[in-house]
Structure 1
Amino acid sequence: MASPSPAGVVTPRLETRGVSKSFGSVLALDDVDFEVRAGEVMALVGDNGAGKSTLIKCIAGIYSMDEGEVYSDGQKVSINGPKDAARLGIEVVYQDLALCDNLDVVQNMYLGREARDILFRLKEPVMESRTAEVLRGLSVTTISSIRQQVASLSGGQRQSVAIGRAVMWNSRIVILDEPTAALGVAQTRQVLDLVKRLAEQGLAVVLISHNLHDIFEAADRITVLRLGRNAAVFERRAVTQQEVVHAITAGVPTKVPGVGATETEAEA
């Protein structure tokens, strides 16, 4: 187990140490470390099959870890299912968004968590007020009515609703899986601005994306996985896109016994 952080070092909001996960004979994650701090956007990148989705699903409690430990604000915690992750304030916005097109914005924000009175009647004014408050707090101004059906929204507006739902429930860590996939230029800008606002509000944000332009626009740090192993962690301001691409495609695992730091890491 790693020694306690020295004075002056920021304790991560969420940290994993030595996570390994196999599916039969396939080793999807091998001794992976990962962290994200409060108030930052940590990008998680890697080629297809690098282990990004597996790591996130372990953090979200969908998959159980074969090995490894999880820490929240420096305290060791157990995540044995999605409810454990939710109690820790972990919310994931998956690429498919999990929105119901036939329901309006308010109904989607409260989906499965509806506010009801003692007679089990929906507390519509409460839900409307809270929905408007959350979207206003995130500076989401492009949705004309919180009572319009989600089917009528653009891709960027739909992503805003999904992110708003994630932060509504006392979230502390928000994980975004390819939030700008298939969006146009204006919608991508809208979503990236929203991602940065989440960090400005003190949340720990994990951004998964194949689009390095988006990564360099929104992220503070970048974690690279390659073939299920750690390949690098970069400060975004101190690295080039070419160096990140090299780590994604040819980076040397950082925790293989007998193998030193990569050339990029040695220069950092």
Structure 2
Amino acid sequence: MADRKKHILGVENLSKSFGHVRAIENVSVDFYAGEITAIVGDNGAGKSTLIKMLSGAERPDRGKICINKVEHNFFTPSEAIENGIATVYQDLGLVNCMDISSNIFLGLEPLRKGIFVDKARMKRESRELIEKLRIGISDMDLLAGNLSGGQRQALAIGRAIKQGGRILILDEPTAAMGVKETQQVIELLLNLKTQGYTIIIITHNMQQVFSLSDRVVVMRQGRVAGDLSTGESSHNEVVGLITGMEGVS
């Protein structure tokens, strides 16, 4: 039921231009705890600009971003992370020559006696996080470069959570993955959903939109063309909204 959902993140009349190009205009959308929302649209529809503003990489020209109904202004991605918004881009940002725990704690390394990096603590807490997320990696000494695509995506998500992310934004989380790896990531996202995380995915995979997400927000020419429950909409309806051909048979 919609009235039982806990509102976590909302944007109101968000607009952004680059020179004379209006990237997004008057975008309003809400996101909820324990829900997976897919954002879809053609290239240039405004998806990336919206995500960059939510993640602190771009500042809106006007409009509001609210977390738990409190307005926030992010000047940097680190400020967004401090407020619980963590973004995992397609390149994942992993350091291939570093092990699991070093990637999870990248930039957050705990010190022992104020001088030495506490590797034992890093491994212990990394193992606890990996087990909690049911990622399926047992050796914290494995290098990120030796992981499968699904494991790498899971590691990047784990790092986002370690940074304090409760609102997770994922850019094409299963792009170029095989069936098995894709299923690993899907199972992880569903697990996080049951733990109450707010999950936003940017994807072109329409099958995944309907199998994974609870809602789909369609963007077209910088505006929200539709905000639908995936259980009450269809592939054709969403494609029609993406292309502007809705209602055309």
TM-score range, shorter chain: over 0.9
2:129 is the alignment partner of 1:147: no
The residue identity in structure 1 corresponding to 2:123 is E
Percent same amino acid among aligned pairs? 39
The residue identity in structure 1 corresponding to 2:53 is C
TM-score, length of structure 2 as denominator length: 0.95
Shift of 1:172: 1.4
RMSD of equivalent CA atoms: 1.7
For 2:185 and 2:215, locate their aligned partners in 1 and report how far apart those are by CA, in whole Å: 18
Report the equivalent of 2:84. 89
Which of 36, 47, 52 is residue 52 of structure 1 equivalent to?
47
Q: Is this contact kept in 1: 2:109–2:117, CA < 8 A?
A: yes
SS in 1 for 2:111: coil
SS in 2 for 1:13: strand
Q: Is this contact kept in 1: 2:240–2:247, CA < 8 A?
A: no
SS in 1 for 2:164: coil
For 1:214 and 1:133, locate their aligned partners in 2 and report how far apart those are by CA, in whole Å: 29
Report the equivalent of 2:63. 68
For 2:194 and 2:247, locate their aligned partners in 1 and report how far apart those are by CA, in whole Å: 33
2:206 is the alignment partner of 1:224: no
After superposing the two structures, state which structure 1 stretch, 167-176 or 51-60, moved more.
167-176
TM-score, length of structure 1 as denominator length: 0.88
Report the equivalent of 1:200. 194
Report the equivalent of 2:8. 13
SS in 2 for 1:244: helix
Shift of 1:9: 6.3
Q: Is this contact kept in 1: 2:34–2:198, CA < 8 A?
A: yes
Shift of 1:16: 0.3
For 1:11 and 1:40, locate their aligned partners in 2 and report how far apart those are by CA, in whole Å: 10
Report the equivalent of 1:131. 126
Number of positions where the alignment pairs a residue of Structure 1 with one of Structure 2? 247
How big is each residue's C-alpha offset from its partner over 1:107-155, in whole Å with a ceiling of 9 and x where there is no partner?
A: 11111111112342011111111111111111111x2411111111111
The residue identity in structure 1 corresponding to 2:205 is N
Which of 222, 229, 232 is residue 235 of structure 1 equivalent to?
229
Matches within 5 A, 1:90-105: 90-105=85-100
Report the equivalent of 2:208. 214
5+ residue gaps in structure 2? none
Q: Which has a greater percent of strand?
A: 2
How big is each residue's C-alpha offset from its partner over 1:139-177, in whole Å with a ceiling of 9 and x where there is no partner?
A: 111x24111111111111100100111111332100010
